[in-house]
């Protein structure tokens, strides 16, 4: 919708695809920033429960909150590019192809940067939590 509204800013004769992907990338960053402001980041490293219907105990909630805080702190300490590729791929649940389109990076760059970012993340985390991230 934003691209449609911004069509008057498109330069005739310029390539359309990069212009459109830049709008998508900027909008993704904006949505992500506002989402971070509104809610606390829920991370997938939460304790696995045998039955999804069970409400977590206070102890499980405390452990999950501590785990999330440690993981979030590690991610926030990473470089902008590492945070960006991890956010698109895991927090926004974009595929590698979608991440490549949004970031306007080649798909191979997404794969390699994601791999390097995960290695850096594992090194920054306590051993037990790093094993969870490796799964």
* pLDDT at res. 41: 42
Supply the pTM of this predicted model: 0.53
Q: How many domains does the chain have?
A: 1
Q: Each residue of 77-88: pLDDT tens digit? A: 999 999 989 888
Between the alpha carbon of residue 111 and those of residues 2, 52, 75, 108, 116, the distances in Å are 28, 32, 18, 5, 9
Does residue 125 fall inside a structural domain? yes
Identify the CA nearest to 42 among candidates 81, 73, 72, 5: 72
* pLDDT at res. 49: 43
Name the average pLDDT for the chain.
79
Does residue 51 fall inside a structural domain? no
Q: How confident is the model at residue 50 (pLDDT cuts 50, 70, 90)?
A: very low
| Residue 56 in this model has a pLDDT that exceeds 70 | no
* pLDDT at res. 135: 60
Structural domain range at position 35: 15-39+79-135
Mean pLDDT throughout 24-48?
Answer: 64
Q: Each residue of 105-116: pLDDT tens digit? A: 999 999 999 999
Distance CA 105, CA 67 (A): 31
């Amino acid at each position: 919708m934003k691209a449609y509204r911004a069509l008057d800013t498109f330069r005739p004769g310029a390539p359309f695809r990069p212009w459109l992907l830049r709008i998508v990338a900027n909008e993704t960053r904006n949505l992500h920033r506002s989402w971070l402001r509104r809610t606390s980041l829920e991370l997938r490293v939460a304790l696995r429960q045998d039955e999804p219907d069970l409400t977590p105990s206070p102890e499980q909630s405390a452990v999950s909150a501590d785990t999330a805080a440690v993981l979030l702190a590690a991610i926030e300490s990473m470089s902008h590019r590492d945070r960006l590729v991890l956010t698109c791929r895991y927090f926004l649940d974009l595929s590698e192809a979608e991440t490549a389109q949004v970031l306007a990076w080649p798909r191979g760059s997404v794969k390699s940067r994601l791999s390097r970012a995960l290695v850096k993340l594992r090194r920054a985390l306590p051993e037990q939590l790093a094993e969870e991230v490796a799964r």
